[in-house]
Chains A and B, each alone.
Chain A
Amino acid sequence: MTSLTTQEFFRAARLLPPCLRTEVLNLPDDVAEGAEEIRLRTGRTPSVVIADDEVQILPSHIVTASELQLVLEIATRASAHTYADSIKMGFVTAEGGCRLGLCGTAVTDGNKISALRRLSSVCIRISREKRGCADAIYKGLTDGGFKSTLIISPPGGGKTTLLRELVRLLSDSGKRISLADERSEVAGTFEGQPCFDVGARTDVLTGAPKSEGIYLLLRSMAPQIIAFDEITSPLDIEAAETAANCGVSLLATAHGAGVFDLKQRDLYKKLVDKQIFRRAVIIENIKGKRRYTVEELS
């Protein structure tokens, strides 16, 4: 019997061209369960990322440019034009919430990237739903009422997975949540339907830039909590501040090693100093196991 994590690997493997898919589906279960990403580069053998290590798989298979093109075709359901905006930003979210990172030759219009042609690398990020991963910290985060919380970890640390689980738990506990899911990675929305369980009282906005999405959700959905993934620009911080000033709690993520690390960077310093967030969850990866620590910020 296949486990849930293996199923998620299989779902990601379905995005591969038939010849490669068959070989990847025959990989041992421990690889399938531990894999976080499948990476394809033209002229190289495919590899999977397991706990920060990139392991070469299928040494006899050399990835071709046409295979990468077919991966994109499968992920976009043969509709690259529908995903043109996200392709030029370097990603596509496929069915099941799997995110494809794309790399190739950029076509520019002035200083802006207008399209991505001749793919050279594709990174298929395996989206996982880990029920129960927030159990240890959930009580601490909701004691005395939920306060705005920032999840901090380095890239690939499991921020999105924890965010998704917290959104589900808070939503099912009765909170009305609006999720600004710019890249459809949290809810895995595909053709309007979230593929992951994000709770019964969660409204999901996909595709909109986070800052604009937050304003839209404030106006239209009267949320008690606004959740979003990856604060990356001053505009995101401005929108978060506006939402906090409107009495809405926030649940968001940021790249970093911890609160001290955030304070060292201009972008996040304001976020910490202005006390937009009251709590932080720091994720550490210790020998492949994740450890969550809750810190009070005020």
Chain B
Amino acid sequence: MLDEHRPAPEATSSRSALQLSWLQPPGLLALSFVNFALRFVTLGIYSFWGKTEVRRRIWSAVRIDGEPLQYTGTGKELFLGFLVIFGLVLLPISLASFAIAIYFGPESAANSVFALFLYPLIFILIGIGTYRAQRYRLTRTNWRGIRGGLVGSDLNYAWTYFWSALLVPMTLGWITPWRTTELQKIITRDMRFGDRPFTFTAKPGPLYSSFAVLWFASLFIIIAAFSVIGVNINFEMFQPDAIEQDATDPTEAIKMIAIVYAVLTVAFFCYYLLSAWYRSKAINHFATHTHFEGATFRATVTGLGLVRVAIGNFLINLAGWTVTLMVFLAVLAPVFFLTQGTAVLPSATAGEGVKFAAGVLGALVLVAASGLFAPITQARNARYLIQNLSIDGTVPLGDIAQGEAHKVSRGEGLAQAFDIDGF
């Protein structure tokens, strides 16, 4: 039926400018609570389907030329992927480490050897996981029915991820701009929209001046923070009347702790601001060197903008934790009072059963409520990025065909499931 009525393909020479926009999805707060309730009644297992619905809404909010992205992943895929990762990776690792610790002892040579192999393995697994998660999301992203894809090797990415991470401490961090550029290059060059590749031309060089500012400023912040703390504490201690005072005066101790915390908080905030500024430079740099079919991306992300989003998200999460705590107390409080008097319940054993049930319910509330407002914070992150991203130039949309090389076939069982972002 489709073939008879298919619209005539656009002429190959026709190129269109593409406009990126964000259309705020309504109902994310309600969705947060719905997902919480469903996680609660399914012992948390619904989280994979809940996460999928959130992604479907966030993807739909991203508009290219007014038309939405489509997320085609399913909760079942995420769930299977998680089971496979759990069964083939997490469980064997924890069983092995447990067995070795029991059999040889936590301080034995065998345990140290195991740890020596385990940590690099975990690093490589994180690299593989990052790449595969990206691949899963891209193959589950459609625009006008055309799929995205990631066609390279996860091991290649994981290897670069691993050995360059080893060099971070050895170079006192100075490899970081090179490393992030290299990893971004691997991902971007492997990326496809339909049958067309993305190209990446960024060099790490231009990032080094910003990185130097971040590096030296961080050093300065550390030195300044410790000097301020040192001066204050010494000042307090060597004041003439301080010697007379009892050294264990609690108000003095509290004052000193308060000073230390205040200075460290200010120092951390300064560092966070600077690192956000550096990250914004990197994002903008990478965007302007990412090309697709002759068009180029452009990002106008700022450090302050990233910090604003982060602070907003922190406050939203704080509200989430408050709500969680209130629900938790509301569940436990009646039981607590009910079991206070033994007269209320016929036997001690019945009271114990009620308490156990309350314990389980309380634990379930905490499990189900983890990441309560994640739909809202995730949408905020996506919104900020999309609102500060644009595409310069034009793209020959009529020429872009479905990519055959990275076609997603469903139901390949374990091999398929292992490709899923369960990490």
- Note whether A and B form a binding pair: no
Q: Which residues in A have some Cβ–Cβ distance to B below 8 Å?
A: none
Q: Which residues in B have some Cβ–Cβ distance to A below 8 Å?
A: none
